[in-house]
Amino acid sequence: MSNFPDPPSSIIALAQEYQRRAYCPYSKFPVGAVLVGSNDEVFGGCNVENSSFSLTICAERVAMHTAVAAGVREFSYLVLSSHGAVAPCGACRQVLAEFAPNLKLFLISPDAPEIQQRYDLQELLPAAFSGSAIKNAP
């Protein structure tokens, strides 16, 4: 990731706060996400699990869908907080790519302010499927 500044400490702390809000009684794996719009608007999310397991939604999709519902569709970066500073699941990579194929990602842990990993979304989802494929169909 070239020349992109690290997020301010307030955004890192906010992602950790969203992680604490996770509802994850089944996996006990809380995740917090903060998605920052091109206009610097901030949208948070946490994973929300369900007793019918497949209805669980990830933190990244909560943040993205909240932003889109608020009228924001352009994004610059995402901060994701989880134990082990894991990268987004495949489904969330695809959802993030719908609106932000050039998104920057910063992965952090719940208990430390340092960035653990930095990625471009294109590194995590190369050759992504996109709406242009549908439009170009015969």
Catalytic sites, residue numbers? 60
From residue 40 to residue 79, the character string flagging contacts with ligand THU as x (rule: CB under 6 A) and all else as - is -------x-x------x-xxx-------------------
Q: Alpha helices, DSSP H only, in the chain?
A: 9-20, 59-69, 90-99, 121-124, 131-135
Q: Which of 1, 70, 89, 112 binds ligand THU (CB under 6 A)?
A: 89
Distance, CA of 116 to CA of 2 (rounded, Å):
16
Instruction: Find out whether 36 and 42 touch, Cβ atoms under 8 Å.
Output: yes
Position 92 contacts ligand THU (CB under 6 A): yes
Of 4 and 29, which has the nearer Cβ to ligand THU? 29
- With respect to ligand THU, which residue has the nearer C-beta, 15 or 60? 60
Decide: 17 and 59 in contact? Cβ < 8 Å: no
Half-sphere exposure of 75 (CA within 13 A, CB side): 33
List Cα–Cα distances, 96 to 48, 67, 101, 137, in angstroms: 18, 11, 7, 23
Nearest approach in angstroms of CB 136 to ligand THU is 29
- Cα separation, 137 vs 104, in Å, equals 30
Q: Examine residue 108 and tell whether it contacts ligand THU (CB under 6 A).
A: no
102: contact with ligand THU by CB under 6 A: no
CB closer to ligand THU out of 43 and 60? 60
Q: Does 29 bind ligand THU (CB under 6 A)?
A: yes
- Summarize as ranges the residues that interact with ligand THU (CB under 6 A): 24, 27, 29, 31, 47, 49, 56, 58-60, 88-89, 92
